[in-house]
Every structure is written in C-alpha cells, then in structure tokens.
C-alpha cells in the first residue's frame, strides 16, 4: 500500500469520525433545546420573554467565562470580531425576541411548524453561498423530517395561549419568518468563522454581543422588578436554560457547525420539538398518540436520509475557503 493510498484512507477515516462527532453534538444540543422549550413554558409566565432571554444568556456568558477564562476570548482580527458580534446580535437577541413576539399573534403549533422550515432555508442559503450542493437524498430527508413535525405538532394542546386575533396573524408570520431567517443565516455565515477560530471563541463572543443587545430592552421592561417575581423553581428553570440550554447547548451546536455542513447540522433541529413533546408526555401528563409516534418515526427517517451517505472530506484548506465536500 503506497503512501498516497494510506493518506487517502486516513483522510476518509478522519472525515467519517468528524461527521459522527458533529452528528452527536447536534443531537445532544437539539435535545437540550427541546427541553428548553418546556423550561421556558414553565418560567416565562413569571417574567417577560425579553427578560428571560437576557437572564438566560447573561448567566450563560458568566458560566463560559468562569470555566474557560481567557480561552473564551482569544485574539481575533477586528473584521472577524465584528462579524461574530453582528451574528451574535442576530442569533442571541433578534432571534429570541422575534420568536417570543410571534407567539402573541399565532398559535404555538403554527409557530413551531414555520420554525421547522429552518433546515430547508439553511440548505437553500448554504447552496446559494456555494458551501454545499442540494442533493435529492438530502432534500428528501429534510422534507421527511418536516413532514414528521407536521404530523406530530397539531397533537399538542398549546393553541389556547394565543393572545392576538386572526386579523393580526400576518404580524405573527412576519415575526416567525424573521426568526427562521436569523437562525438560518447564523448557521451558514458562522461556519467560515468557525473554521478560522475555535468554536468556544465564536460562541462566547456572539453570546456576549447578543446579551448586551438585549440589556437595554430588559432594563426598559423592568428587569429588577421582574427578577424579584421569579420563584425558586423558576430560577432552577432559568439556570437550566442558561447552562445546558445555553452555554453547553450552543457550544455543542457551534462544534457541529465547525465539523459538518450547515444543512447536515440544521436537520437535527427536528429533534427539538420532538423532545419537547416527549417531555410533555413524561412530565406534564400530555397524551401519547399514534400521530406522535408516526411523527417521531418520520423525523428519524428524515434525519437518516439527510445525513447519511458521502461525508465532507477532511483535508487541509485555506482559512477563508469552505470545507471541500462531496455528494
């Protein structure tokens, strides 16, 4: 066996291992995000969505800094630092605000279904940027996962919380569309930065930028008064949102984006609402129905279709170039 062949085998093996690690990281992160939905539903009545988001990310930033210290903010070119900060405002400030605001005009199931298009939008933006090509298998997997959510989500009895009237539904759809665009844009545009810098650094700086952007809004809504109304169990939920649903979850998500392509990672977001459904069944005595089971099966098949097959090749690449890929 010549050296060239040995090198090819090593690269293929490294690429496969990296892809498996990315899939595992995205899976765990999505489970934490799904559990965060349940925690948010529990504690948000005690405060406001903006203040809750601010507390979540402020504590998450504190956790990252306490554990990583200076490693959380290494030297970075000014241009990259600005790009990371802007993406942080997009993802950690505008994203949670638009998502929470959309729920005041639309039923939760409608919002969840629109958010479930995030992987499809991510795939389209990724293709437009030339990061990856759309394959028939991957598109079929994305659509299958979305179909699974479309089957499962209507079984949730969450529509009673809608505050807005049907005549203002367009505002809700506009807001949740902003949510999807923010998430998809972050998935695609953060990857070149993650290839140049450690995922910890990108996550930390972007989260700090988003938290600082939320601070004025949280203060304007009466931050001290609202924090005083949160119960002990509510603070336990906030701490979960900040640690596993914040620092750990988004750290794993950035790791996955660094080691895989945006659409391969985004499809795992389908696990998010399915986790929320499962926890609702286990913790809130919500019914487990046949359509929930069918939805879970469809989501699982969709993820398998969208992520299996040839993986991105792990080879040396220029800092500004996308990771080479094969379909």
Residue 323 lies in a domain: no
pLDDT mean over 202-225: 93
Q: Residue 310 — very low, low, confident or very high, per pLDDT cuts 50/70/90?
A: low
pLDDT given at position 1: 52
pLDDT given at position 244: 94
pLDDT mean over 98-119: 77
pLDDT mean over 102-129: 80
**Burial 173-209, CB ≥16 within 10 A → b, else e:** eebbbbbbbbbbbbbbbbbbbbbbbbbbbbbbbbbbb
Running DSSP on this structure, what letter comes out for residue 326?
A: -
Residue 313 lies in a domain: no
pLDDT mean over 22-32: 89
How many domains does the structure of the chain reveal?
1
Residue 294 lies in a domain: yes
Question: Helix (H, G, I), strand (E, B), or coil: what is residue 165?
Answer: coil
Three-state secondary structure string covering 182-230:
HHHHHHHHHHHHHHHCCHHHHHHHHHHHHHHHHHHHHHHCCHHHHHHCC
Residue 76 lies in a domain: yes
pLDDT given at position 157: 47
Distances in whole angstroms, Cα of residue 305 to Cα of each of 18, 31, 133, 179, 272: 18, 20, 15, 26, 18
pLDDT mean over 210-225: 93
pLDDT given at position 284: 62
pLDDT tens, position by position, 144-195: 887 887 787 665 544 444 444 466 778 888 988 999 999 999 999 998 999 8
Running DSSP on this structure, what letter comes out for residue 324?
A: P
pLDDT over 90 (residue 312)? no
- What is this structure's pTM? 0.77
pLDDT given at position 48: 86
Question: Helix (H, G, I), strand (E, B), or coil: what is residue 156?
Answer: coil
Residue 268 lies in a domain: yes
- Helical spans, DSSP H, in 197-319: 199-220, 223-228, 232-242, 249-259, 262-266, 271-283, 290-307
Residue 258 lies in a domain: yes
Least confident piece of the model among 56-60, 111-115, 245-249: 111-115
* Count of alpha carbons within 13 angstroms of residue 107, beta-carbon side: 12
Residue 30 lies in a domain: yes
From 284, 241, 196, select the one nearest 43 (Cα to Cα). 241
pLDDT over 80 (residue 282)? no
The burial of 119, by beta-carbon neighbours within 10 Å (0-12 exposed, 13-18 middle, 19 or more buried), is given as: buried
- Provide the residue range defining the domain that includes 51: 21-307
């Amino acid at each position: 066996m010549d050296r060239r062949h040995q090198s090819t085998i090593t690269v293929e093996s490294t690429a496969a291992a990296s892809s498996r690690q990315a899939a595992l990281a995205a899976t765990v992160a999505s489970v934490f995000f799904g559990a965060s939905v349940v925690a948010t539903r529990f504690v948000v009545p005690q405060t406001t969505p903006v203040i809750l988001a601010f507390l979540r990310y402020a504590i998450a930033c504190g956790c990252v800094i306490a554990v990583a210290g200076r490693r959380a903010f290494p030297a970075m070119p000014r241009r990259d630092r600005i790009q990371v900060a802007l993406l942080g405002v997009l993802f950690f400030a505008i994203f949670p605000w638009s998502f929470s605001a959309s729920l005041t005009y639309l039923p939760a199931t409608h919002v969840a279904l629109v958010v479930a298009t995030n992987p499809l939008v991510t795939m389209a933006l990724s293709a437009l940027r030339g990061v990856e090509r759309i394959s028939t298998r991957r598109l079929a997997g994305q659509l299958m996962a979305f179909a699974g959510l479309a089957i499962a989500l209507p079984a949730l009895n969450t529509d009673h919380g809608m505050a807005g009237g049907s005549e203002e539904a367009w505002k809700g759809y506009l807001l949740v569309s902003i949510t999807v665009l923010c998430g998809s844009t972050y998935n695609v545009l953060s990857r070149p930065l993650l290839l140049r810098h450690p995922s910890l650094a990108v996550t930390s700086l972007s989260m700090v930028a988003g938290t600082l952007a939320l601070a004025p809004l949280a203060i304007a809504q009466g931050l001290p008064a609202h924090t005083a109304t949160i119960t002990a169990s509510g603070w336990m939920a906030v701490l979960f949102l900040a640690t596993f649903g914040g620092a750990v979850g988004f750290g794993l998500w950035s790791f996955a984006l660094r080691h895989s392509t945006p659409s391969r990672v985004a499809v795992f977001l389908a696990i998010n609402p399915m986790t929320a459904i499962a926890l609702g069944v286990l913790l809130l005595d919500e019914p487990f129905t046949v359509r929930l089971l069918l939805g879970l099966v469809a989501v699982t098949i969709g993820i398998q279709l969208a992520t299996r097959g040839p993986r991105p090749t792990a080879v040396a690449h220029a800092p500004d170039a996308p990771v080479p890929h094969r379909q």
